[in-house]
Every structure is written in structure tokens, then in C-alpha cells.
Structure 1
Amino acid sequence: MRTRSVALLAVAALGGAVTAALPAAAASPVDRVLAGMTLPQKVGQLFTTYVYGSDANTPSPENRRLYGVDTPAEVVARYQLGGVIYFAWTNSLQNPRQIAALSNGLQAAAPGVPLSISTDQEHGVVTRMPAPATQFPGGMALGAGRNPADAYRTGQVTGAELRAAGITQAWAPDADVNVNPANPVIGVRSFSSDPSLAAALTASQVLGFETGANVSAAAKHFPGHGDTATDSHTGLPVITHSRAEWQRVDAPPFRAAIAAGVDAIMSAHIVVPALDPSGDPATLSKPIITGLLRGELGYRGVIVTDSLEMAAVRQKYGDERVPVLALKAGVDQLLMPPDLPLAQRSVLDAVASGELTEARIDESVRRILTLKQKRGLLTPWQPVDATGIGSAGHLRVAQAVTDRTVTAIRNDAGLLPLGPGKSVLVTGWNSSATGNVAALAGALGGDALVTDQPDDVLAAARTHDVTVMLTNLDTAGRQKALVAALLTTGKPILVVAVRNPYDLTQLPGVRTYLATYSYTGVSMRSLAKVLLGITPPRGKLPVAIPGLYPYGHGLTWSTP
């Protein structure tokens, strides 16, 4: 297999044979590479998908089943991929050094043009690169902090660590405006229900990734996924906003991202009848992608689909038609087709039949190559070694940012801050056996009880001065009943929503209530400082809690 430098020299040589016929102003690096590509190579650049394996050259039966070859390197080479996306479930993300070695191996296998290697590192509930990489609390927590500089720092630190592992494209930030508390797929991934705040933080995080760390950002999910009660992974959401509502509510974060120079915008698999009455999802809608995003908003960067494996984009058309229809709509980059060989053949066949032209393919490849050039990917790949990931400086930034996000919503019992010498029990929803309950208990110097057995929790609560109950009612289970039972003990009960702040609407009788928007360890440390009176709560609700508290509500108190 050719090395990266040899492959690039070959492409440059091919381009050099035709550049003499081009105007001098057109002979850019992008033009030279594009001129030397065959049609199959161009079509390969349109696709980003996952490969199975923790290193580039170890066989996996999943690669054989899906792609007809054994190793990640062989998948990249055979399909001449433009990009690869990493997930824990594909064994791509285990630890920083493994990720860096995988990136180096895949780049060595890429024929001609380096890969855009990507992952969904939004933080909070969508975190792909594990600790010791620096962890932040996610979008809605940053909305509670109200600080664009913190959004920038989050993007900058995250981008630097991604780049150190060889990841050059982040599928973040989430630019959706979460105006529907019942939204099952966005929720705390959104910065806010307020379009202005969401726009300011979206733009700042884009700049953090791109200017601060030289990593491509992607604002998602256009034209706006914030007002739905349907998960597009499993169904087809319909957004009923009028065009005027879309302009007022959904558009501002995308306009701000475009003004900030965002490298990519990800489409949503949603139907918005006011923007396109055809019933096609936005990903396949020319009025939305070309008319609205390209035309009205003036966006000139890369447009990428959300995952083409999702049910919402597959309901109306077959898998062989979706890639072609997305390109006809104006999309450039095709993410995770369920059948990559079929998808590539479909695009090639569409060019052969005249349904798509090679000039149309060139438009998208040129945008993708321009993005790669901007991020230094049209030069020979320089191996990475994960240096700096999870550094002490990065961890300090994450803790400082998170300390500004904890929101005290109700303190009617005057329980907070907790006085000295109290015995504290921490229980409730737990992200893992050693997760947030244990992390908070350790930070408080209290006892952790990881169980959903009400009798055990009530018995332990009666022997402690105060019980901290962590809730995530998205997972339902026994949490509501357990809170109600704890309230009958006569002992002080403190409830903390560690995901959606809306939990309080289902918990009558709770008199002390906080929200962290995140169950990460860094959030639990910030929460402990607030509970103990070490730092005051600084967060303000970035969304309203329906019928109870308005946007912007948040208590605070003085600390020593």
C-alpha cells in the first residue's frame, strides 16, 4: 500500500498535467487535487462512515459483513473514503493513545487525500472520547452559565484534544433551540430555548473549535430540531413552525454559525411543511437545503447529512435513492449510509444515467477539499501522539466552566447551603456502578447508596441528616415513587436533576431543587461545592420549567 506522501505526490502529478490549461488564478491546491481525481475517487470523498477495529490493520468480522474486506485500512482504501467517524461501539474510542494510533494508521491507508476523521464530541449526554480526555457538561449547562467565553473555551479545549488524537472534525455544536420540554432527542444538547442565547453560544463554540483549535465544527441540525416530541432515530418528526416562527426561533443560531465561518452544517431528518410542503425530510429537500440554506442564508461551506441509518430519512425512499436525492437537494457529505457499497454504486449510476452530472459531484468535492485544505489536510499527514489530552490545565478550565453552571431553582426549606457536620446520603439515578452517585458522595464526604429498592433507600435516609436524590426522569423507573416516599420520612430531602431541568414538574412536594444538566464527574464536583457552600450557585435557567419557573430564574447566596 502506498504511503501518504507518495499518494499525495501522485495526485499532485496527475493534477500538474492539466493545470497548464487552467487560468493561473484557478490553479489552487484544491483545483490541482480535484483535476487529478477519477469519478470513483470523487464519489468516495462524499462519504463518511464508521469502521470496526481499535487499530487500522486488525481484521473484524463486522468489516467483512458490511464492506467485504477485513480491516479498517482496507475499508478506507477500497471505498476511497473522504472521512471516517469514530464511536466506542466500533472499538474506535478506547483511550487517547489507541485513538491516535488508529488515526495515524487510517491516514496512511487513505488513497490520495487525507481523511476527515470525526466524532460527536458535544459533551454531556453525547460524549464519545472518554476520560482521561477532558469532560465538559454539555450545551444546556453552558446555557445556564450564560458566558460566551466559556463556550469558546469548551470548543478550544475539546478541539485541541480531538486534534491531538488525529480527529479533525467535530459534529458539534448543537444549534437547535429546545422550545419543547418533551423533546426526546435534543433536550440538554441544546444551549437554550432562547434563540439569542443559543446563537451567541453556538457562534462562540464554533470559533473555539475552528480558530482556537484548527478543528472543523458542524452546527446541527438544520433547519432546527428543537420543537419535536419524536426522535428522528426511530420516527419522522414534523415541525409545525410557520415560516415566521422559523425565522424568529430556529434560524438565529445557524445564522450566527455562518457568520462565525462554520466549516459544516448538518441537516436534520425532519419535515417542516412551512418550508417545504412535499413531505420530504429536510435532508432530501432542495427548497430547504439549496433554497433556504444556500440561498436565503448564503451558506457556502459543507452541508452534511445526519446519519443515513436513521429511520426518519429511510421511511419514504429506499436506501439506494437516499444518497442521490440528498445530493440533488444540495448536500455535500453523506454520513453513515446503511449500505456503503450500494450507496456509492447508486451515486455512480446516477451520474451514468444523467440524473446527476459530474459537475454536480465536483461542486461538493470542491467544498470538501476546501474544508480539508483549511484544516491542513491537503498536505502529507503528520502523525499524532495524543500529547496534552486531559492535561492539568485543560481540567482546570473544565472545572471553572462547570462551576458557573449549577442552578439552584428552589430552596424553600432553607436547607442550602448544608451546614457543617451533617451526615449526607446520596442516592437516585446513577449513570454507572461507579458513576454520579458515588462521585457526588465522594465530593461531599457522604455515603453513596446505589439501588432502586425503596425499602433500602428509606431505611438509609432515616439514619442520615439529609438525603440528596439525583433524578433523570427520562429513564423513569422508580424515581418518582422514591422521591414521594422520601418526602414522607420527615427528613430533609434535596433533589437534583442531573439531565433535564424539567423533572420538577413531575415531583410535587419537593422544596429543595437544583439542576446540573449533566451527570459527568466534573458536574458532580461543581454541585458538591454549591451544596457545601464553597461556591455560590451561579447558573440561570436557560429554559423555562413549564408552569413553575421562567427562563432566567436562579437563586444564589453568599459564601465565606
Structure 2
Amino acid sequence: MRRPPPTLAAGRAPDARPGIHRGIVALALGLATLTAFAACDLGPVPEPAEEPTAITRGVSAPPAADPTEIHVSQRIGSMTTEQKVAALVMVHVPGTDAAAIRAVIDAHELGGVILMGDNMAGDPAATLELTSGLSADTGLPLLTAIDQEGGIVRRLPGDGWPAGRALQGANPQAVEEAFADRSALVASAGVLVNFGVVADIEIGSGSFIGPRTLGATPEAAAERVAAAVRGEKGRALSTLKHFPGHGASPDDSHVSIPTSGASLAEWRATHAVPFAAGIEAGAPLVMTGHLRFDSVSPLPASLSPTWIRILRDELAFDGVIVTDDLLMLQRSGDARYRDPIENGVRALAAGNDLLLYVLPGDPSTVGFEAGALVDALVAAVASGRVDEADVDDSLRRVLTLRRAASGESGPYRDCGPKCLGESPRARDTA
């Protein structure tokens, strides 16, 4: 499936702090003009005539190209297919040794890392030491992410602000303040992305997702989801989860494939509403869940081209789509999803931009090896199963986030053999 070129109109986050995060302000400017770049003339603009003729009167000069777009386009043009698909993979590597984590990332030139509880060495300052040692390229920092919803789902210590169900009765201003404080904590640890805004609705009692939701009706959830995104803006890159809505089923997607009989029309009137509000508020990422709506698609949303089209076309989301942990599909017990490598290929083919794997200490115990995943993705592109133009579109979205976070605005400069020498995978395949 060929998707239209990204404009990334959603997901504008202003700057918040020095260092790696000072460049997030550039995201608001760079994301809005990606489409304009493709049509823009980069040549010199002639001086206007002193007395415009009827032919030239009212004709404006083409808009200036955004430096982030230029850098990203040049970067993509310099990458091999192997490098492109690897940059669309985010993994968890256990432990607090930054060098060991970076070795895994660099060996395969992966695009991101998610921090879990076993990566916490202490307070946020200790985590900052770890995250500061993960990126070799200051011009294109690694995407670092964390689950910091607050309440029962939090990785960083020191998060005592209300969250989830505790905010269901709060006014939107209180929600915004709680998420502003929470995302400031995330930023202080050197983490760029917070997988922290639950846009699901609590429907009925006893559901797995219920305690983590911000509302029990579409309208209440939407109001508070939008407030949470506003609160995080400029501090962390917000992620709405779990699209298309975990509240449609009481089951736990960590160990099953929650299924709903809701029709598409019913979904539009209920579960879609908070996601639409969060997108309108500027959330730059949406996480697809391993959730099945049988009347819409026979596949979990994370593997469903139908749901990706709905997210792109109906909700007009142009930001980064990241899967929930793909190992959860394997743990569901459904034999169709027991191969984590195949699940990654299917997720990319469906239209996700970023593939998430929360790996154990020994990935081989779950049948995963990063190099094997990269090879499988390259083969899928070569066979036409995954459209290379779609890979480039996904890469443009992901690299735009990373470049904007760098705070740099100059042209891309390929460091050549020096960079190749820093990549163990490049050395092994040279």
C-alpha cells in the first residue's frame, strides 16, 4: 500500500530544555512544511522588478525550505535499504550499562530504545547519565522512550502526580498540570518520547485498561486526553495509546488478542473521539494496539492496513505510528503470531512507522535477533511485500522527530568511513 507523502501536520512540540531537547521547538516548524519541500525550488529567488508587470503582479516567491527537511531528505538519500529499515526499529535492552545498550543499538544501527524498570539505576539524574551515553550522532539523536503514564504504570521514581482514573473527575487544567509535571520529569531523565497518554475509554467495570484511562465517556476522555497532550508539549513527545481503543474489550493485550464486536460506525462515535482530540491537540505519535474489531478487520490493529488507513485518512494523523510491544502478539498464544520476526514484517507492511520490541535479557529465548529482523525487512522490500517508497515515508517521519530533537539546523554532512568504522554491523559486512 502506497501512502501519500507525509506532511506531519500533527505533533508540534516546542522547546523545553537545553541539550538534546532544545531542538524540539524546531519540530513545530519542520513538521508543517514537509509537503512544501517536495515542490519547493531551492534555486536563488530573483529580485522583484521595481514596477511589477501584469504577469508578475501578485506572484510570490516560493517558501523557504525548512533546514530539517533538507537534512532529513539528504540523510535518506545517503542510506542503504538495510540502514533505512533498521532505523524503524526500537528495542528494549535490559540493564543500566549505557555502553552495553549502545553496543546493541550500534551493531544494527537501530532507531530507538525504550527504557523499562530494569534500566532505572536510581533517580532521574542517574537515568540522564545513561541516556546521555546512548547517542553517537548528535545531529540525529537516538529516539529514547519510556512508559510514564503515572499511577500503576511508571518507570521513573518521583512521579507522585495523579494519573489515570484519579484524573477522571478532575478538570482539564488539573490534568494539564499533572502531565506537565510528569513530562518535565521524563525530560529531566534525558528521554524524548513518553508513551504516556492513554486515549482509551473505560467502558464497564473490571476491564484491564480501566484504571489507566482518563475518562469513562468519549467526551470526558477526549477533553482530558487533549489536556494531557497540551501539558506534555515542549517537554516530551506525547504518544496516544492504544489505537483504536483498548476499552472496547475487557481483556489484557499482554497475554491475549482483545476482541470487540463494535461496528466501524460505533467506533467512530465512541473510541475514535479521544484519539481525534489528542491528534487535534498536537500529539506527534500514536501507538497501535494488538486489538481486533472483527467487523472492521480480521487482524489486530497493529498488523492491519485497514486500521492504519483509518488513522491516516479519517483522523488525519500524519505523525509517527509506533506499534505496541510486538512480543505481546507472541504471548497471546495465537499460533499465527508466534514468530516475532514475521510479526515485524507484517507490522511494517501494514503501515506502522516504528516497530517496538521489549526484549528480555536473552532475546533468543523468544526467537528474536535484531540482525535477523533487519534482514527479513530488507528481503520484504526486495520482494515488493513492503513498498520502499512507504519505507522512505516512514523514515522521513521518524528522522524528522530525531533531527528536530538535536537542536541543530545545518546541512547534512556524511562523515563517511569514520561513521562506518563506528558501526560493528558495517565492519562485519564490509
TM-score between the two structures when normalised by the length of structure 1: 0.57
Alignment of 1:15-414 (within 5 A): 23-24=41-42, 25=65, 28-57=70-99, 71-89=100-118, 91-108=119-136, 113-131=140-158, 134-145=159-170, 147-184=171-208, 186-211=209-234, 213=235, 215-276=236-297, 279-290=298-309, 292-310=310-328, 311-312=331-332, 315-317=335-337, 318-336=339-357, 339=368, 340-376=370-406
Q: Is the 8 A contact 1:80 1:111 kept in 2?
A: no
Q: Distance in 2 between matches of 1:378 and 1:347?
A: 30
Q: Is the 8 A contact 2:321 2:353 kept in 1?
A: yes
**Higher RCO (C-alpha under 8 Å, 6+ residues apart):** 2
Shift of 1:328: 1.6
Q: Distance in 1 between matches of 2:279 and 2:286?
A: 9
**Aligned AA (2:316):** G
Q: Distance in 2 between matches of 1:101 and 1:379?
A: 25
Shift of 1:303: 0.5
Q: Distance in 1 between matches of 2:114 and 2:400?
A: 19
Shift of 1:93: 4.7
| Cα deviation 1:226-271 (Å, max 9, x = unaligned) | 0322211111111121222211110110000111111100001011
Inter-CA distance 221–118: structure 2 relative to 1 (3 Å threshold)? same
SS at match of 1:123: coil
SS at match of 1:303: strand
Shift of 1:92: 3.7
Q: Is the 8 A contact 1:237 1:312 kept in 2?
A: no
Q: Distance in 1 between matches of 2:249 and 2:130?
A: 37
Q: Distance in 1 between matches of 2:250 and 2:121?
A: 31
Shift of 1:201: 0.7
Q: Is the 8 A contact 1:200 1:253 kept in 2?
A: yes
Q: Distance in 2 between matches of 1:111 and 1:313?
A: 41
Q: Distance in 2 between matches of 1:294 and 1:337?
A: 26
Q: Distance in 1 between matches of 2:393 and 2:279?
A: 19
TM-score between the two structures when normalised by the length of structure 2: 0.74
SS at match of 2:242: strand
Q: Distance in 2 between matches of 1:312 and 1:223?
A: 18
Q: Is the 8 A contact 1:337 1:343 kept in 2?
A: no
| Cα deviation 1:173-216 (Å, max 9, x = unaligned) | 000001031212x11100121111100110111111124x2x11
Structure 2 unaligned blocks of 5 or more: 1-18, 21-36, 43-64, 360-367, 411-430
Aligned-pair Cα RMSD in Å: 2.5
Give the number of aligned pairs.
339
Shift of 1:94: 2.6
Shift of 1:40: 2.1
Residue 4 (structure 2) aligns with: none
Inter-CA distance 378–239: structure 2 relative to 1 (3 Å threshold)? farther
Q: Is the 8 A contact 2:90 2:110 kept in 1?
A: yes
SS at match of 2:135: helix
**Aligned AA (2:244):** P
Q: Distance in 1 between matches of 2:352 and 2:94?
A: 26
**Aligned AA (2:156):** M
Q: Distance in 2 between matches of 1:316 and 1:377?
A: 43
Shift of 1:274: 2.1
Inter-CA distance 163–379: structure 2 relative to 1 (3 Å threshold)? farther
Shift of 1:315: 4.2
**Aligned AA (1:141):** A
Alignment of 1:394-473 (within 5 A): none
SS at match of 2:237: coil
Q: Is the 8 A contact 1:270 1:282 kept in 2?
A: yes
SS at match of 1:192: coil
Shift of 1:337: 6.2
In terms of Rg, which structure is larger?
Answer: 1
**Aligned AA (1:348):** V
Inter-CA distance 123–315: structure 2 relative to 1 (3 Å threshold)? farther
Inter-CA distance 164–356: structure 2 relative to 1 (3 Å threshold)? same
Shift of 1:55: 2.9
